[in-house]
Structure 1
Amino acid sequence: MSSPADHPLRVAIVEDQPLFRSMLERTVAVDPDLRVVASCATVSDARRVLRPGTADVVVLDIDLPDGNGIALGVLLRREQPDLGILLLSAHDAMDLLLDLPRDVGHGWGYLSKTSMTDEATLLAAVRAAAAGRTVLDPALLGRMTPRHGSAVAQLTQRQYEVLRLLAQGLSNSGIAEQLGITEKSVQNHVYAVYGTLGIDADPARNPRVSAALRLLEETGPAV
């Protein structure tokens, strides 16, 4: 089997601020498993350049000078159903992921531009979105607590920790490494989370995506 570096993930960037776009390009370019294949500043440029099959994942600013990045992402996803999309915003707009059309709701991520100063967070989010996982901003999640009476509030502390890491796009092995427990233990916690949240094996939606969105829906800013 070929190594990831033999077939790097193709990344497109859509960002109107030249300095920030340049920073994104440089950050992605230093990773041998990733390759920048397109860099655009507007919706119209992206529609012209990003034909189906051009990229595996798009890093996409929400606020663009000639349109809305989320609407652009929906169009791109409907043309290429396996395209990963990582949204960026200068303000907390993570709740917008809850309003995505169901047919394109998997494989989206959200990072605030404040979190983008952490290269590892950006690169991990790019890979997770390309793999079809939902990625939520870890810094923003850290300021959220379960809403009283919600299903998320019924989770044990360990199950809640696992759910938060799952929502950041980590695999079971990544969660195990982060928490210092076995991958089998993580798997058991994930199944327990699914059971508490009432998430079934609906083939139309990845259960990890459903769990991440429930976390977003049933938490709010800590008071």
Structure 2
Amino acid sequence: MRASERPIRVAVVEDHTLFRSMLDHIVTTTDGLELAASCATVTQARTLITPGSADVALLDVDLPDGNGIALGVLLCRTDPNIKVVLLSAQDAIGLMLDLPKDVAGTWSYLSKTSTNDSGALVRAIKVAADGGSTLDPALLRRMRPRVGTKVAELTNRQYSVLRLLASGLSNAGIARELVITEKSVQNHVYAVYATLGIDASPECNPRVMAALKLIEETGSD
């Protein structure tokens, strides 16, 4: 587990020099974050990101000598405590559904467009470090439930709660966004779990399971 008193160590793997420099700058200038490694290739990452050296890895999906997903799987299998935030220039959020089950627990996904907002990136890093996951909020806003799915059975309010939950917001954050009480959010979250058939016990990370269900049963506009 990460000691709460020390900074979150972030490893960046991105082949485009300018974009990698931007990510490095965000990490190094944000209180509570520390740049553990900055790499342009899978080969560099395998050398520099060793077990225990980083808490969160920011990984570009497309790299010149491989891809971020395969690299993330390798990193997670080598170091079960590391968390992964995937970055992509394309809408590839569906890739989250194809992750091997043994490492799929708390991966996050952001569009590179969203990473122009440093606040969204920093929040995703912090959520990941705390064991949660974040799906790109802008992409989630374009998602619509497919007819005949469990997600389509949710009320409008429950669907709004699910989408905000999947974007990495806490119950308190969802309450502020929807201007309702945290108790109401909690009730809606449990109703979402019940409708989607998700075990609400902490052992199964139900928030991550609900987020994956949202990807699986929706389509983009």
Structure 2: 5+ residue stretches without partners: none
> Separation in 1 of the partners of 2:28 and 2:181?
33
Query: What residue is the counterpart of 2:75 in the other structure?
Result: 76
Query: What residue is the counterpart of 2:31 in the other structure?
Result: 32
Query: What residue is the counterpart of 2:163 in the other structure?
Result: 164
Note the C-alpha offset of 1:218: 0.4
Distance 1:166 1:203, change over 3 A: closer
Query: What residue is the counterpart of 2:105 in the other structure?
Result: 106
What RMSD, in angstroms, separates the aligned Cα atoms of the two structures? 1.5
TM-score, with length taken from structure 1:
0.94
- SS of match in other structure, 1:86: strand
- SS of match in other structure, 1:27: helix
Query: What residue is the counterpart of 1:136 in the other structure?
Result: 135
- Mapping for residues 4-153 of structure 1, pairs under 5 Å: 6-153=5-152
- SS of match in other structure, 1:103: coil
Is the counterpart of residue 177 in structure 1 residue 151 in structure 2?
no
Counterpart contact for 1:85–1:108, Cα < 8 Å: yes
Which amino acid in structure 2 is aligned with residue 84 of structure 1? K
Structure 1: 5+ residue stretches without partners: none
Which amino acid in structure 2 is aligned with residue 45 of structure 1? Q
> Separation in 1 of the partners of 2:130 and 2:78?
17
Share of identical aligned residues, percent? 63
- SS of match in other structure, 1:85: strand
Note the C-alpha offset of 1:220: 0.3
Query: What residue is the counterpart of 1:195 in the other structure?
Result: 194
Spell out structure 1 runs of 4+ moving beyond 4 A: 201-204
> Separation in 2 of the partners of 1:60 and 1:70?
8
Which amino acid in structure 2 is aligned with residue 144 of structure 1? M
> Separation in 1 of the partners of 2:181 and 2:164?
15
Is the counterpart of residue 214 in structure 1 residue 210 in structure 2?
no
